Structure 1
Amino acid sequence: MARRTDDQRDGSKLGEFLRARRELVTPEQLGLPVSGSRRVRGLRREEVAMLAGVSADYYLRLEQGRDRHPSAQVLEALARVLQLDEDASGYLLGLGAQSRRRPRRPRRTEVVPPTTAKLLDALQLPAFVEGRYFDVLAANPLATALSPRLVAGGNRLRDVFLDPAERALYEPDWELAAAALVAGFRHSVGTDTDDPRLVELVGELSIASPRFGQLWARQDVRGREAAAISLDHPQVGRITLNREKLLVAGADGQMLVLYHPDQGSVDADKLNLLASAALPPSRPGPQGQDTTTSVDAG
């Protein structure tokens, strides 16, 4: 069997995305009349084409990967019909421009910049560095106290989908957390879906976790953003923290992830308890004073 060209693969990826997103939009959401039974989930191809102002045959060619060079105007119209947000719209435009990009350069091993590593050690809050593929590249002791899986060499997708102990931390909101994680992962890796590391990781997770496969097939895209998270910690019980994700300058998609509580909250007290166990024991100073580092939970 002849191998598909890069151009054909790009068209196929665009078609897969359009088809998946079309199935998630109902006629009622767009004010279309519905009569009788419908054999398709979501919108029909003809309905998408009509609302986007293109012919049904042209839209069919897009979904089938036979037309691989749609204009930005067509893609923007389709994004509007499919009710894509800014992140998903950008992803769609990227798929459409894929074949016009420069050849892919080999990706280098992700290395945490030395200054970022120093900052990580100095922070008095749980923090870790997350790579493009959601690998944990580095973590401080407070992050590991929050979750034993937050250590260098781990991978957030493997942990959340394959480790029962990590899943238990997110119950009863694991489904929401898992869906957000997969959507953020697609945004992080972008449209380069032939990347060997990405293919390997998605294949592994799809086999080991049917739920990951279902979420990945939805083609949801969401930027890695700040959010409040609640964890059911085995030592301190339910703890709610604010999560921030800050781009590491010059590090090709690495994120510094920090967790912090609201000042003066019960959650701040709980984080202090975890911190007291994670920090090294106190030692006497030059005049016998206690030199234990205090944790500012704010």
Structure 2
Amino acid sequence: MTMTVTVIEKSRSELGDFLRSRREKLRPREVGLAEGRRRRTAGLRREEVAELAGIGVDWYIRLEQGRSVNPSAMTIDALARALRLSKVEHLHLKALTRSGERRAFQQETVPDSLKRMIAAMKQPAYVTGRRWDLLAWNKAANDILAFDQLADEDRNILISVLTRPAARRLFGASWADEAKRIVAQFRAAHDLWADDPAFHDLLQRLRKGCPEFSLWWKTHDIRGTAAGIKRFHHPKKGVLSFEHASFQWNDDPALRLVIYTPV
């Protein structure tokens, strides 16, 4: 029998946290409001967000409190405008309001055809799943990132980058920027699986293994995946620069193929 987990309540909590974090980041002058009298907390007041979105204050408060409210698409769009959400944040807000019951997380399986494809590549390449578990990689990726040295339970991008001293040395001065980037990207996936034990266990490991993680996680930043440049300080190969890009596997969109091309 396949287990299911109810993520409705936890997703509502993540929805409330997300709305509150975005509200507290906005300054009144950014949305055309006067600063007014001294504010006890940073950011906009709940009633100001409700007014900007054209919805009831009590109704908005219920949203932030994670209570049972199902906003319409029009309301979601109005909240996105009121809170000045980016395109990625707007999509995340929509996804959070659609959350419901789902099957318990099970680690994905990489098809042999994809394994053969990355094995034949000369440039570093690897495959991850929804929880950012490392599922397959080629020799070129291992030569740079040393995935073969990871214990089975540590084969996860977040665990590898955030908790290993070797990863800090590999990224050098750019480690904190890289770590914050992947935390913000992972947050978008996590919030849809927030009540799943596999995701909960991963967060606990990150909190214990990375002193900076809890502070970054509290900001509730959301980022989409995007191509870019990574620079490594390899102990044997010296400074290496790569352009990286990621692709969803059509046969299983939960799988993500990441490819590094030397710059």
The answer to whether the superposition gives a TM-score over 0.5 is yes
Q: What residue number does 2:205 align with?
A: 204
1:146 aligns with 2:144: yes
Evaluate the alpha carbon distance shift between residue 65 and residue 189 of structure 1 in structure 2; reply closer, same or farther with a 3 A threshold: closer
- For 1:280, the equivalent position in structure 2 comes to none
Is the Cα contact below 8 Å between 2:10 and 2:194 reproduced in 1? no
Structure 1 match to 2:165: 164
- How far the C-alpha of 1:239 sits from its partner, in A, is 2.1
**Mean Cα deviation higher: 223-232 or 148-157:** 148-157
- Number of positions where the alignment pairs a residue of Structure 1 with one of Structure 2: 255
1:8 Cα deviation from its structure 2 partner: 4.0
Specify the code of the residue in structure 2 equivalent to 1:128.
Y
Cα separation, 2, equivalents of 1:160 and 1:72 = 37
More displaced stretch, 70-79 vs 146-155: 146-155
Instruction: Give 1:216 shift.
Output: 1.9
Q: Trace 1:28-67 onto structure 2 (pairs within 5 A).
A: 28-67=29-68
Higher relative contact order (CA 8 A, sep 6+): 2
Between the aligned partners of 1:178 and 1:158, the Cα distance in structure 2 is 10
Alignment of 1:174-189 (within 5 A): 174-189=175-190
Q: Provide the rounded CA distance (Å) in 2 between the counterparts of 1:35 and 1:168.
A: 48
CA–CA distance in 1 between the matches of 2:254 and 2:27?
Answer: 35
1:67-216 counterparts in 2 under 5 A?
Answer: 67-99=68-100, 103-149=101-147, 153=152, 154-189=155-190, 191-216=192-217
Code of the aligned partner of 2:54: G
TM-score, normalised with respect to structure 1: 0.78
Q: CA deviation at 1:67?
A: 4.0
Unaligned runs of 5+ residues in structure 2 are 1-5
C-alpha distance in 1 between matches for 2:84 and 2:207: 27
CA separation in 2, counterparts of 1:126 and 1:6? 36
TM-score, structure 2 as length reference: 0.88
CA contact (8 A) 1:228 1:242 kept: yes
Counterpart-to-counterpart distance in 2, 1:134 and 1:54: 37
Displacement of 1:114 in angstroms is 0.5
**CA displacement at 1:87 relative to structure 2:** 2.0
Alignment of 1:262-277 (within 5 A): 262=263
Per-residue deviation, 1:151: 6.3
Deviation at 1:202, TM superposition (A): 1.1
Alignment deviations for residues 173-206 of structure 1 (CA, whole Å, 9 cap, x no partner): 2222111101211233451211221111112212
- Contact kept? 1:12, 1:64, Cα under 8 Å: yes
User: 1-side partners of 2:205 and 2:60: how far apart?
Assistant: 33
Counterpart of 1:23?
A: 24
Give the direction of change, closer, same or farther, for the CA distance of 1:10–1:186 in structure 2 (3 Å limit): closer
SS in 2 for 1:42: coil
Map 1:5-16 onto structure 2 (within 5 A).
7-16=8-17
1:65-101 Cα offsets, whole Å, 9 max, x none, are: 23421222111111122222222211211221224xx
Q: Can you give the 5+ residue segments of structure 1 that lack an aligned partner in the other structure?
A: 263-298
Q: Hey, what's the Cα distance between the residues in 2 that align with 1:177 and 1:167?
A: 10
SS of match in other structure, 1:129:
strand
Deviations 1:138-175 (A, max 9, x none): 11111111121466742111111111110122221222
Letter in 1 for 2:128: E
Once the two structures are superposed, residues 113-146 of structure 1 have per-residue CA deviations (whole angstroms, 9 ceiling, x without a partner) of: 1101001110010111112111111111111111
Report the residue type matching 1:214 in the other structure: L
1:127–1:143 contact (8 Å) kept in structure 2: yes
In structure 2, the CA distance between the partners of 1:170 and 1:113, relative to structure 1 (3 Å rule), is same
Confirm or deny: 8 A CA contact 1:231 1:238 kept in the other structure. Answer: yes
Deviation at 1:258, TM superposition (A): 0.9
Deviating more after overlay: 246-255 vs 122-131: 246-255
Structure with greater proportional strand content: 2
Q: Which of 1 and 2 has greater Rg?
A: 1
Percent pairwise identity? 36
Question: What's the RMSD between the two structures over aligned residues?
Answer: 2.1
Query: Partner amino acid for 1:47?
Result: E
Q: Is the 8 A contact 2:7 2:193 kept in 1?
A: no
